[in-house]
Amino acid sequence: MSESPAFVGRDREKKIVATVHERAAGGRAQVLLITGEAGLGKTRLVEELGVLAVAAHGGTSVRVGAAVPLSGAGLPYGPFVEALRDGAEELFADDGTCGVLTARQYAFERVLAFLSGLSDRSPLVFVLEDLHWADESTRALFAFLAVRLRRQRVLVVGTVREEDLGDDARRWFAELTYRPRVTWLRLTKLADPEIAVLVAGLLAAGDGQAGEMDVAAVVSAAGGNPLYARELVRSAPHWPPLAIAEPVLARASCCEAPVREVIDQVAVADGGMSHELLAATLRRSENTLLASVRAAVGLGLLATTHDGYAIPHGLVRRILYADLLPGERRFLHRRHAAALAQRTGDADPARLAHHWYLAGCYDQAAGAALTGARLAFTARAYEEADRLYTLVAELEQWMPERGPGVWEEAERAAALAGRPGRAARHSARALAANEAGTPADRARILERAGGHRWEAGDLRGSVEAREQAVALLDGHPPSALRARLLGSLATARLLLGTPDGVLPMARRALEMANEVGTPAEQAHALTALGVVRARYGDPGAAADALRAACAQAQRAGAVEDAVRAMSGLVNVLAGAGRFSEAREVVRLGRQTAKDLGAPPTLTAVLEAGAAAILVASGRWAAADRLLNELVGRVTPYTAGHLLLLQLELAVARGERVRATDLAAALNVTCDDPLVAGPAHACLAEQALDAGDPVTAADQVLRGLIVLGGGMFSAEEIRLLAVGSRVGADLARLPESMRPQGLPPAWDTVAGTFSDRVRIAVERHPGEPQVIAYGVLAAAEHSRTAMTDDRATWRTVADVWRAAGLPYREAYARLREAEAALRASRREQAGRALAACVSLAGPLGAVPLLRLAEELAERGRLTPHLARRGRSAVLRGRFDLTERESQVLALLSQGASNRQIARSLFISDRTVAVHVSHIFSKLGVRNRTEAAIARTHQLATPS
């Protein structure tokens, strides 16, 4: 273990210390008083000062002494004796020839002269620590030096815990702070991010149980105190840390009984107590109570607040609370709750419920918890309401009312707090309590339960709940509830991979919603129809339905339907490659959610769509930031999709360990085919990057089984393209090097890839990504037969460019360069490879860059790789030669053919030929369009 952890934060304090030291080193003696409660880093700051002093002035001398806590009087001049070392005996000697006061004066003068002599040779930093324990003589000498040190190169530093100063010492300290050469530096708590950096550094250095530490929990418990943070790390998983608990309990054990009673009562009241409440709880005379409080404050075990008292640190409170016996805790909580309950008009039901519960008075706790939960829900404090309803559920047998209405309230609070699993359990309670209810009442509960189960990741349970609800209303007249159920069931069945009959069901939901005329249900049904249309390969109709759903939901003020419709629209637009439109929908969705008061877990669904756009369009750094922000804000269902995006990035960057961890967290065997299918594709690509076609083949087959055909053409075609790449890589190997252990069904299934690709493309003719994967799969199939050429891969790259996916385009440019080299077209290969590197480099796509480097070495194309940047992408995308690129640049500046010829030292006729080739390659008709195309390509982020 390191004795001194890394110095974190304290930038302001370091500047002050440095300034004071520079003054002293320049011949203006200074005194620095550093104060702060125990553990804030006074000694650590002094250590940093010593390092700074030596670094700034190489010959600086640093001397350190410390006072020692002793019962009775402290050691005379103890810290000075330690700091002065061997010379102390002579400096403080008394020859007996003069009186006591005169002798002390002479001793002070000798110390002053000694320090002055030391500073003549080099600057001196003279440190005296823990002066709150120092004897009166030490304090007097310190004050003497603060007055008499003037032109010496001396910095005297004293560290003090103000809370441990006695009355005489407080007067001494107060007088010191008014001296002109004294600087008082009071340390405060570190910010939570600084404590987090400290904890991470300790764990990285092996100074704690890294595998068992929750950094956030340590930061929370430390409360800004670096010593507490360090001891929490060192003691994990054992609690409390002895280095903190023993001094706290030792100080508490010295209290008289009335003082300890005050401390214990305040420790029970997490967050402190007002003076009036403490008086009402303890029922003592005012004088007796004030004397006890003052004694507790003097010991540093109680601190004043604006209207009362609190334990000065959360960790100290926990230690004191843990020291109470179980019976003591119940008694103190009961007394506290009784006092709270008597405060008419001022009693907080949530606090009452907490204290009655810990007092073992469960009947009173249940009623208070229900009242508090309802008040919190009305105030939109959904997390607090959920916490209290959870307590209500625990105390169910003591509840004054147990009808289904209570559990429906609890269910809504849990859902809005982002706890869908808990909401589903409350729904089950509501259903059980409503056993004798009408079919409509039970169906309504089941409909909500289906939504909660879906968000909790129980997709099959969600479908089952909705099917039960639909069955309950079978034969009933059209209603808003039936319309909503049909739309929800159609969507759920589709996304689970059981699409039979979902389109007629979604249409019937819309017809019924229109028939009953409820705007919210119309929006819900339109959303369902849009999602189904998208899966049936009709993105135009899907987008129209979803836009109509957004407008209808906003008119109805139906926040959940509005956000989900916009989320569906974002997915449809992104799948069609219309990223700018999708981003605009996200922006509008955020504003709509804000206007309608949507909870964070609901708006996170929109943010997940925004993250998917960032990943697909190659803005990976922004995607990282957004994904990190969304952690902890989403339901389990949405969390799975976010983990998938993180897995995509980890695989593309070559982060194998992180990818393994993400795949484990993702659980690729989950029910959601929209997560599991693409996850298997990611892992197959990772295996290919590692040169492991056997694992890649296995992942492809697993993914295809998960998808099972049906309505997942977009996800299936990606797996088929990866599978085609596996086949191409295997075909390039000599028979003797063909790996063993391929899945038995591989050859049979691989033989169906081409037909399955064709069917998928036919189902989704308007989706650029589906088309692009289809073209990619065909190119990989050509590579298997060794019939691919440069034109094949240029087509693939152009399709990916049109779809707006730079990472996929970069892979196609790599294959284009490979094909050009096989045809001995070295210049074209260099341009394509430079485009690949320029696209993949900013992304950090390490595996792809490694393949590019290997190809460059084999083809001796390394010089071309130096030509990186947007211009390299432009040349590679449009197959422009170096000269054509130069001509296009001048043409875009408005230069005529003659001006271009003179600038490049070529003939006018040659310029005209180059311009003609440029128009053909860019697909433009004139110079203006060519300039616009160049500007657009250079401005497009890669």
User: Any idea what DSSP says for residue 75?
Assistant: P
Give me the mean pLDDT over the 232-251 stretch. 72
Q: Which residues contact 699 (CB under 8 A, 6 or more apart)?
A: 680, 681, 683, 684, 687
Give me the mean pLDDT over the 47-51 stretch. 85
3-state secondary structure of 50: helix
pLDDT above 60 (res 436): yes
pLDDT above 80 (res 667): no
Greater pLDDT, 934 or 396? 396
Question: What percent of the chain is modeled with pLDDT above 90?
Answer: 41
Of the given ranges (636-650, 799-813, 913-927), which has the lowest mean pLDDT? 913-927
Greater pLDDT, 914 or 308? 308
pLDDT above 60 (res 867): no
Specify the pLDDT at position 210: 41
pLDDT above 60 (res 4): no
pLDDT above 80 (res 938): no
Q: Which residues contact 380 (CB under 8 A, 6 or more apart)?
A: 597
Specify the pLDDT at position 13: 86
Specify the pLDDT at position 75: 67
Q: Which of 681, 670, 684 is nearest to 714 (CA)?
A: 681
What is the maximum alpha-carbon separation in the chain? 117
- In this prediction, residue 866 has a pLDDT band, given cuts at 50, 70 and 90, of very low
CA–CA gap between residue 182 and residue 16 (Å, rounded): 12
pLDDT above 90 (res 713): no
pLDDT above 80 (res 902): no
Greater pLDDT, 97 or 335? 335
pLDDT above 90 (res 707): no
pLDDT per position as a tens digit, 573-594:
998 888 999 999 999 988 888 8
Give me the mean pLDDT over the 613-627 stretch. 93
Task: List, in sequence order, every residue forming a beta bridge with 185; answer none if it has no partner.
Answer: 34
Specify the pLDDT at position 72: 46
Q: Which residues contact 604 (CB under 8 A, 6 or more apart)?
A: 630, 633, 634, 635, 638
Specify the pLDDT at position 872: 59
Assigned token pair, 230: 């360090």
Specify the pLDDT at position 798: 92
Specify the pLDDT at position 809: 94
Assigned token pair, 376: 């919190």
Q: Report residue 322: phi and psi, to 5°.
A: -65, -25
Assigned token pair, 405: 């209405």
Give the Cβ contact number of residue 121 at 10 Å.
10
CA–CA gap between residue 334 and residue 368 (Å, rounded): 14
pLDDT above 70 (res 940): no
Q: Which of 164, 189, 159 is nearest to 300 (CA)?
A: 164
Q: Which of 893, 870, 877, 836 is nearest to 940 (CA)?
A: 870
pLDDT per position as a tens digit, 446-456:
999 999 999 88
Specify the pLDDT at position 446: 94
Map 582-626 to HEC letters. HHHHHHHHHHHHHHHCCCHHHHHHHHHHHHHHHHHCCCHHHHHHH
Q: In the block, which residue shows the tokens 């339109």?
A: 526
Task: List, in sequence order, every residue forming a beta bridge with 65; answer none if it has no partner.
Answer: 128
Specify the pLDDT at position 906: 74
Greater pLDDT, 52 or 650? 650
Specify the pLDDT at position 77: 81
Map 373-391 to HEC letters. HHHHHHCCCHHHHHHHHHH
3-state secondary structure of 743: coil
Query: Is 732 buried (19+), middle (13-18) or exposed (0-12) by CB count in 10 A?
Result: exposed
**C-alpha torsion sign, points 490, 495, 498, 501:** positive
Q: Are the beta carbons of 573 and 582 closer than 8 angstroms? A: yes
Give me the mean pLDDT over the 30-48 stretch. 86
3-state secondary structure of 155: strand
CA–CA gap between residue 875 and residue 820 (Å, rounded): 15
Give me the mean pLDDT over the 365-376 stretch. 92
Distances, alpha carbon 626 to alpha carbons 419, 578, 589, 620, 866, in Å: 21, 20, 16, 10, 32
Q: Report residue 83: phi and psi, to 5°.
A: -75, -35
Going through 153-242 in order, the beta strands assigned E by DSSP cover 154-160, 182-186
- Whole-number average pLDDT of the chain: 85
Question: What percent of the chain is modeled with pLDDT above 70?
Answer: 91
- DSSP-derived pairing of the beta strands 308-310 and 273-274: antiparallel
- In this prediction, residue 505 has a pLDDT band, given cuts at 50, 70 and 90, of very high
pLDDT per position as a tens digit, 175-230:
888 888 899 999 888 888 877 877 777 776 665 554 445 677 777 777 787 777 77
pLDDT above 70 (res 869): no
- Most confident of the following: 233-242, 356-365, 872-881: 356-365
Specify the pLDDT at position 89: 74
Give me the mean pLDDT over the 631-655 stretch. 90
**C-alpha torsion sign, points 15, 17, 18, 22:** positive
Give me the mean pLDDT over the 500-521 stretch. 92
